[in-house]
Amino acid sequence: MTQGAGQEPVARTATLRDFRVPPYARVPVQGHAAEPPAAEPLPVPAPPETPPAGPSTPAGQSAHAGQSAPAERRLPDPSGQMPPVAPAPVQFVPMEAVPIEAVPITPPAPSAPPVAPTAPMPAEPTLQLGRRMAPAYPAATGSSIVSVATGHPGNAFPDDELPEGYTPTERDLPVIQRGDTLQVPVVTPETAAEPAPAGGEGPGPLFVVGDVHGYLDELVAALRAQGLIDENGSWSAGNARLWFLGDFTDRGPDGIGVIDLVMRLSAEAAAAGGYCKALMGNHELLLIGAKRFGDTPVNSGAGTATFQAAWLLNGGQKHDMDRLQDVHLQWMSRLDAVVREDDHLLLHSDTTAYLEYGETIEDVNDTVHEILNRNDADEVWDVFRKFTKRFAFRDEGGPQAVQELLSTYGGHRIVHGHSPIPYLLGQVGTEESEGSGGPIVDGPHVYADGLAIAMDGGVTMAGKLLVVQLPLNG
């Protein structure tokens, strides 16, 4: 059978040209109103009296006005002829007119005021950092209250007891005996100004943090002293800006706990109108390489080496590697190497090696990220090796080296970590000096004709973990 006008095919085969809409799919198009429901008919008053049955109407059966009664089923007439049936008379029923005034008019219901859109809540971090959840790693009795309150697995070690596998490193940096340097005292907690609250005009105050190296308790104390976190370890600085200068792990007892804290504070600060960001240090590159490449031989320039061996020699901690997750690796791999904030050029290492990776800040960061994404062991090792260089700003040519970086990337002062202040000041010499009570570090170290600020307070050698506000006073 062929398909004609108004006909459906006997057997339909779904093809690309079959655009007929089946009945079950015929729904109103979004944005168009559906068909209104049929209005209820007005009631028709019943006729006053049933007319008598006519000759063609069986006895006891009546017909209503305008409607014929259903015919009773009859047997066929033997004569073959059906008697004529007279049509039922139609009775006119007059309707009572209703005055217009009598029809009640219902005023339209007042429309509800528009509901203001609710601001979307900030997205949950990938690991749901900051929730009061059970730590991912079992905490021993007597662990710090900060680790329990903040929910991150860091600092989950008993008081006065180092974790299993913790191996503090030896001091292997040269002693620098110099007297032409300056230290700026850190503002004490009693005189520290409260960070600007969120909602103010312009950016909030700028803070920087030196090398942490796994010392979570010292970091929490320093952040709290500056009013950046509260007693529960949560962000409390509103729209303040906080920059970490790199080196979160190795040497100290809880590097992964430090990373977890920084990741959580980043989310909390963003929700409050500020931010908490971090730079990539040479120890981040070392930890990434040790995890990715392990004992794979690399060309170190002085023979064959491996990331695993270098990581252990530079204070790598087994408990950090055991707790290292993909989210930590991804976060570290995306850190920038250099930034400029408020006329300060922030970077981790006191070296001019950054100039080899680009003529702009964006070029340097993009190049480092591309190298990490290519996942070539030799390339990553070369970046690690160059970012491990130090002391480029300390000698007579130091101010010129600083000026070269500033003229290329902008800013009027470099702020860096990496090289501990005690070594720059000659306060740490030999192993016999360990019982002297530790180096004295009062604050950042300003040198190179005032163009460079060192922020590594030597926390790994009983120095001080520095958190200061920029610009420096004095």
pLDDT in tens, 23-59: 444 444 444 444 444 444 444 445 444 444 444 444 4
Q: Which two tokens stand for residue 75?
A: 């047997």
Q: Where are the beta strands (DSSP E) in 189-326?
A: 206-209, 241-244, 275-278, 298-299, 304-305
What letter would DSSP give residue 97? P
> Can you tell me the distance from the alpha carbon of 243 to that of 276, in angstroms, rounded to the nearest whole number?
6
Residue 86: what pLDDT?
A: 53
Q: Where are the domains of the chain?
A: 145-470
pLDDT tens for residues 64-100? 434 444 444 444 444 444 555 555 555 554 555 444 4
Residue 183 pLDDT = 54
- Which residues fall within 8 angstroms of residue 255, CB to CB, at 6 or more apart? 213, 214, 248, 249, 287, 317, 320
| CATH class in words for 145-470 | alpha beta
Q: Where are the beta strands (DSSP E) in 214-299?
A: 241-244, 275-278, 298-299
Rounded percentage of the chain residues whose pLDDT exceeds 90: 50
Report the mean per-residue pLDDT for the chain. 73
Q: What is the pLDDT of residues 358-405, one digit of tens each?
A: 999 999 999 999 999 999 999 999 999 999 999 999 989 999 999 999
Q: Which is nearest to 331 in space by CA: 267, 414, 417?
A: 267
**Is 141:158 a contact under the CB 8 Å cutoff?**
yes
pLDDT number for residue 462: 87
CA gap 265, 243 in Å, rounded? 11
Determine which of 61-70, 160-169, 285-294 has the lowest per-residue pLDDT on average: 61-70
Classify each residue of 361-381 as buried b or exposed e, where b means 16 or more C-beta atoms within 10 Å of its C-beta.
Answer: beebbebbbebbeeeebeebb
Which of the four pLDDT bands, split at 50, 70 and 90, describes residue 425?
A: confident
> What pLDDT is recorded for position 91?
53
pLDDT digits (tens, 9 = 90+) for 180-215: 445 555 544 444 445 544 445 678 999 999 999 999
Amino acid present at 214:
G
Nearest Cα to Cα of residue 130 among 251, 260, 288: 260
Find out whether 293 and 380 touch, Cβ atoms under 8 Å.
yes
More confident residue, 408 or 140: 408
3-state secondary structure of 299: strand
The pLDDT, as a whole number, for residue 423 is 85
pLDDT tens per residue, range 227-252: 999 999 999 999 999 999 999 999 99
In Å, how far are 199, 218, 223, 232 from 144, measured between CA atoms?
33, 12, 16, 11
- In the structure encoding, which two tokens stand for residue 422, read together? 């005690």
Worst-scoring range by mean pLDDT, 110-119, 254-263, 395-404, 460-469? 110-119
Q: Are 416 and 348 in contact (CB under 8 A)?
A: yes
pLDDT at residue 438, as a whole number:
65
| Ramachandran sector of residue 329 (left: φ over 0; alpha: ψ -120 to 50; beta: rest) | alpha
